[in-house]
Amino acid sequence: EPEVTQTPSHQVTQMGQEVILRCVPISNHLYFYWYRQILGQKVEFLVSFYNNEISEKSEIFDDQFSVERPDGSNFTLKIRSTKLEDSAMYFCASSQAEDEQYFGPGTRLTVT
């Protein structure tokens, strides 16, 4: 069964450093998303991406965040200058249409 994959599973970085989180969505899916979940809190939407552009973003997704689909398979989330409060699980998701979204296993980001 096809699935969303994410790398790395755990990333530790120092405050102020740039990080890139990588995702490979399900191959025939057209819509891509990033969510985050701070420990003990709910899953929060960050951004949706379709047809090579951002279609929706939340207030969390400020100028420090960017997304890219550099080739036909990868979808990346970049945080330019990490803060302590960026520590969270980051989930990539994909969907065939604007409906059921399937989540990857997540990347745990720890900012020290």
Partner 1 sequence: QKEVEQNSGPLSVPEGAIASLNCTYSDRGSQSFFWYRQYSGKSPELIMSIYSNGDKEDGRFTAQLNKASQYVSLLIRDSQPSDSATYLCAVNRDDKIIFGKGTRLHILP
Residues in contact with partner 1 by the rule CB under 8 A: 31, 33, 35, 41-45, 48, 50, 55-56, 58, 89, 91, 93, 98-106
Residue number with CB closer to partner 1 (24 or 89) = 89
Minimum CB separation from partner 1 for residue 11, in Å?
16
Q: Which residues pair with 94 in a beta bridge?
A: 32, 102
Distance in Å, CB of 12 to partner 1, minimum: 17
Residue 50 Cβ vs partner 1, minimum distance, rounded to whole Å: 8
Check whether the bond before 8 is cis (ω within 30° of 0): yes
Give the C-alpha separation, 52 to 67, whole Å.
Answer: 10
